[in-house]
Structure 1
């Protein structure tokens, strides 16, 4: 049983690393079709190329980690645990948080959109309470206001009424 669990984990890591590598190489290739520029004069392809290279390196690291076959993971050490199923609550909360950001950002502004996004995402974790999710959402929203409004001076409407 231990060997099967380790083999399954290794295969997942290989496949995940390979997927990250392929996506990273594709993004890098497509990003190179735009002008990349320099660090001082970034072109439209600079960010996609940088992101693609980082994603490719991450994929290599994950795939190399699969070769080691770490046995300290909970999957490899717990023999009696039943296979886990997908956590639909987490998936749905993440999907709805993105939808909430798009809708609320369009019609209500940055503050309600960022609060709702963080709050809904935090509720995807079964260990979070309403209170902890609310505190996290308030702190993330305040941080977002400081970064986007004051530090970067990005022109986002903080509060908007209508579209």
Structure 2
């Protein structure tokens, strides 16, 4: 077996792994039928489709010839760190960290923090562009989650309320 595209081969394996994990996790829930779907139906179907996609990509990587073999480059630690950190900070800002006495910072502050931290994952960082993006995301998130979906979570920092 000769791998003709390393990127596609390992991407396909990743898709298969995630798909199998979702399908396996969904097996603990009631699946139901197509007409009366249970809580496990969607993750099961999504997991199976993802695994099938992974199989197709892996097969293609073994069959279709590429110019340079699509070698895998070095691991991108910086983007991985900043994206994970941005999501953790966002989660902590929405829910707060009562263990250390941090009250919720709210949706708006959380989105600004998320956008600013995640922007460091790229090669260039322009503060003005990040501020515009964060403002647009905060506005759209407020409209989608608070106004339209009427979700109940803090919008502004708890420090501003009584």
* TM-score category (smaller protein): 0.7 to 0.9
Measure the CA separation in 2 of the matches of 1:98 and 1:60: 30
Gaps spanning 5+ residues in structure 1: where?
Answer: 1-6, 77-82
1:145 and 2:142 are equivalent in the alignment: yes
What is the TM-score with the length of structure 2 in the denominator?
0.73
Counting matched residue pairs gives 149
- The answer for the alignment partner of 1:97 in structure 2 is 86
Matched residue of 2:117: which SS?
helix
1:18 and 2:23 are equivalent in the alignment: no
Match of 1:120 among 107, 110, 117: 117
Give the deviation of 1:124 after TM superposition.
0.9
Give the deviation of 1:31 after TM superposition.
0.3
Deviations 1:82-124 (Å, cap 9, x if unpaired)? x853333212211210121122112111221122112211221
What is the TM-score with the length of structure 1 in the denominator?
0.73
Distance 1:69 1:120, change over 3 A: farther
CA-based RMSD of the aligned residues comes to 2.9
Deviations 1:111-140 (Å, cap 9, x if unpaired)? 211221122112211134122222222212
Measure the CA separation in 2 of the matches of 1:118 and 1:65: 36
